[in-house]
Homo-oligomer: A and B are copies of this chain.
Amino acid sequence: MTDKLTGAAGRAYVADAIRQALRSGDLVPGQRLVELDLAEAYGTTRGAVREALQDLAAEDIVEIVPRRGARIRAVSVEEAVQITECRSALEQLCARKAAGRASEEQRAELRRIGADMRQAVADGAWDAYSALNQRLHELVIEAGGQEVARRQLERLNGPMVRFQFRLALRPGRPAQSLPQHLAIIDAVTGADPEAAARAVAAHLDDVVEQLRVSAERTPAPRV
């Protein structure tokens, strides 16, 4: 860390750092992001920070209002629901394709993930479960070979980090979602496209449900 991270390198670095800070809760929605502060904090130039903020704005993670700077965008429950519905539509597509064209290796990895998930829930290993969950979704998208859908889903997930961690915390949540995940795995490895789509839809409908319930119990996010 001798030299300043400048230009393109700094741009990616700052963007990643902010995404990370959001995940870990160091940044909260509504918080102002002052270019010069960030530049000093991360050892870059204002230019690099500026471009990083543009990138994050394109991902709908921050909101830039002219002459007033950038702030972390707050995502309403209603918007989180819509995002999840879009995710559902796109992941159904991927799962359908994956059921039809996944390689034998991919099906094997899916089965392995299923077994590991059972184990993780039995052990109460929530971090491991969460990682497996993520890998499962990735693998379905990858096996579906839908590059375009993958990009869309990435964008969709950007603003959701805040909600995801609220959801994962709910007690009993892993036990509830486990059978849904296993159903997805069974359908894809069983080469049944329609069942795969239905399983994904059922899982994400449940996530929507959980979002709505969590909205009632949690105070509205501050702006």
- A interface with B by C-beta (< 8 Å): 8, 51, 54-55, 58, 60, 66, 79, 82-83, 85-86, 88-90, 92-93, 146-149, 151-152, 155-156
Contacts and interface: CB of A to CB of B under 8 A. Distances in A.
Given A90-B86, A90-B90, A79 B148 contact: yes
A168 to B, nearest CB: 21
A178 B93 CA distance: 26
Contacts of A146: 82, 85-86
A152 B93 CA distance: 15
B90 A148 contact: no
B83 A148 contact: yes
A149 B146 CA distance: 18
Given A82-B146, A82-B149, A90-B90, 12 more contacts: A82-B147, A82-B148, A83-B148, A85-B148, A85-B149, A86-B146, A86-B149, A88-B93, A152-B152, A152-B155, A152-B156, A155-B155
A89 B200 CA distance: 13
A62 to B, nearest CB: 14
A5 to B, nearest CB: 15
Contacts of A90: 86, 89-90
Looking at A60, A66, A89, A146, the one whose CB has the most chain B CB atoms below 10 A away is A89
A1 to B, nearest CB: 23
Contacts of A147: 79, 82
23 contacts: A8-B66, A54-B54, A79-B147, A79-B148, A82-B146, A82-B147, A85-B93, A85-B146, A85-B148, A86-B90, A86-B146, A86-B148, A86-B149, A86-B152, A88-B93, A89-B89, A89-B90, A89-B93, A89-B149, A90-B90, A148-B156, A152-B155, A155-B155
